[in-house]
């Protein structure tokens, strides 16, 4: 079924996305300890696309790949929200006029270009991970300072809703860690969506 170490890393890092609780996850792979190839990404896509999960990999910084894992249907929904569209447009993403739908493929390609071709980290990435737009906007505006709560992301908006999500995410991660010990099959551990 491919690279077992890579699938274990996917399960441990992306449990909330695999379970359908979160739009996306991004994590680092170190070449020395967890070598991952384009073939590993292609095979994972063949296995997981039918469950609604897509993966892409980029080098940032060189030699230390970032793997972006996302639920396509949730990303379509998220990127087409009015506030999200406005933020994306500010950063040069291909956002059509109000009546047109944002292209997930074009926006992900733009994000990958920004990850690899910019000296500055693209903090709008939070929009691709399912973080609330007001929190992404707050992080960018405040340079990561002065948040109300820090957990899976820095919260500038609805603290109570963020606490509820953080608790669900922690519970999900624990469930997936325990399940991984019994059955490391990523297809069985991925909710359809």
Alpha carbon of residue 47 to chain centroid? 18
| Helical spans, DSSP H, in the chain | 4-19, 38-48, 72-79, 82-90, 104-117, 126-129, 133-142, 159-182
Asked if the model's pLDDT at residue 159 lies above 90, the reply is yes
When pLDDT is averaged across residues 86-101 and rounded to a whole number, the result is: 89
64/26: higher pLDDT: 26
pLDDT surpassing 90 at residue 152: yes
Q: Is 85 helix (H, G, I), strand (E, B) or coil?
A: helix
- What is the per-residue pLDDT for 31? 58
Question: Length of the chain in residues, anyone?
Answer: 193
CB count in 10 Å sphere of residue 20? 18
Alpha-carbon distance of 121 to 123, in angstroms, equals 6
Q: How far apart are CA 25 and CA 27, in angstroms?
A: 7
Q: What ranges do the domains of the chain cover?
A: 4-182
Closest CA to 129 of 153, 165, 162: 153
d(CA 64, CA 35): 10
Average pLDDT for 18-27? 97
Residue 29 scores a pLDDT above 90: no
- pLDDT (0 to 100) of residue 38: 83
Residue 36 — pLDDT band, cuts 50, 70, 90? confident
132 closest CA partner among 158, 169, 151, 168: 158
* 64, two tokens: 């230390």
pLDDT band at 158 (very low <50, low <70, confident <90, very high): very high
């Amino acid at each position: 079924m491919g690279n077992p170490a890579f699938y274990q890393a996917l399960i441990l890092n992306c449990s909330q996305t695999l379970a359908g609780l979160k739009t996306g996850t991004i994590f680092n792979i170190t070449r020395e300890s967890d070598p991952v190839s384009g073939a590993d990404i292609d095979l994972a896509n063949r296995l997981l696309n039918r469950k609604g999960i897509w993966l892409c990999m980029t080098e940032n910084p060189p030699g230390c790949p970032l793997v972006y894992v996302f639920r396509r249907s949730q990303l379509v929904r998220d990127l087409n929200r009015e506030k999200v569209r406005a933020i994306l447009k500010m950063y040069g993403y291909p956002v059509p006029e109000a009546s047109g739908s944002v292209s997930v493929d074009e926006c992900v390609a733009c994000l990958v270009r920004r990850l690899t071709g910019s000296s500055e980290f693209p903090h709008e990435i939070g929009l691709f991970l399912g973080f609330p737009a007001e929190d992404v906007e707050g992080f960018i505006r405040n340079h990561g300072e002065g948040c109300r709560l820090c957990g899976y992301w820095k919260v500038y908006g609805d603290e109570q809703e963020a606490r509820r999500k953080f608790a669900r995410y922690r519970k999900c991660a624990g469930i997936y860690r325990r399940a991984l010990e019994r059955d490391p099959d990523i297809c069985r551990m991925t909710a359809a969506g």
